[in-house]
């Protein structure tokens, strides 16, 4: 048998949606601040499922399930991951702060911390706020956050697609947890 043989579906030992819903989750909430693309939202759902994230908060102009555009990239993760909708992102952030979450904007700000240097308190729940594809996280929301982290970049764009930013940031946070 080859060492690098691709695993088949049965060998992946995937759990069912019902098993996922009752499984222990990481105390992390992803907040999407006025994300316009249903494909990006769907990718966030799929990534949240992969890392067993507690919930996604969809805010403002975000599409909500059921949505064909979300489903296309979520591949059903919109059914496994808990989600809530808030008309205003500030409402979502305020509810998380009240519940004891450390709320972190994923944004390039004057005092943002490079993601690899971000330290966490393992016993504390976290919420990560990701912004609109063009405008980023709104300043009003940034003003409410405890801190901001940015993904280091060395090219000419200094921006990543939202779905990539969610994946990179969740990977780093979960690795630290």
Secondary structure (DSSP) of 13-55 = TPPPHHHHHHS--EEEEEEEES---HHHHHHHHHHHHHTTEEE
Instruction: Tell me the whole-structure pTM to 2 decimals.
Output: 0.96
Quick check: 31 pLDDT over 80? Answer: yes
Residue 161 lies in a domain: yes
Report pLDDT for 3. 80
Q: Is residue 122 part of a domain?
A: yes
Domain that holds residue 169: 20-176
* Number of domains forming the structure of the chain: 1
Q: How far apart are CA 27 and CA 24, in angstroms?
A: 9
**Which CATH number is 102's domain given?**
3.40.1280.10
Determine the Cα–Cα distance for residues 34 and 146; give it in Å rounded to an integer.
20
Q: What is the pLDDT of residues 50-64, one digit of tens each?
A: 999 999 999 999 999
State the chain's mean pLDDT as an integer: 96
């Amino acid at each position: 048998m080859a060492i690098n043989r691709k695993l088949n579906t049965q060998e992946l030992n995937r759990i069912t949606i019902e098993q996922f819903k009752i499984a222990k989750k990481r105390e992390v909430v992803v907040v999407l601040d006025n994300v316009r693309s249903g494909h990006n939202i769907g990718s966030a759902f799929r990534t949240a499922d992969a890392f067993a994230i507690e919930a996604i908060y969809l805010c403002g102009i975000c599409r909500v399930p059921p949505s064909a555009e979300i489903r296309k990239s979520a591949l059903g993760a919109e059914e496994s991951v808990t989600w809530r909708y808030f008309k205003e992102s500030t409402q979502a952030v305020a509810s998380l702060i009240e519940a004891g979450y450390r709320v972190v904007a994923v944004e390039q700000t004057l005092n943002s911390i490079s993601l690899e240097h971000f330290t966490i308190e393992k016993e504390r729940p976290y919420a990560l706020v990701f912004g609109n594809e063009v405008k980023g996280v709104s300043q009003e929301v940034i003003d409410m956050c405890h801190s901001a982290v940015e993904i280091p970049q060395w090219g000419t764009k200094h921006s990543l697609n939202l779905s990539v930013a969610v994946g990179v940031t969740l990977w780093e946070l979960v690795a630290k947890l």
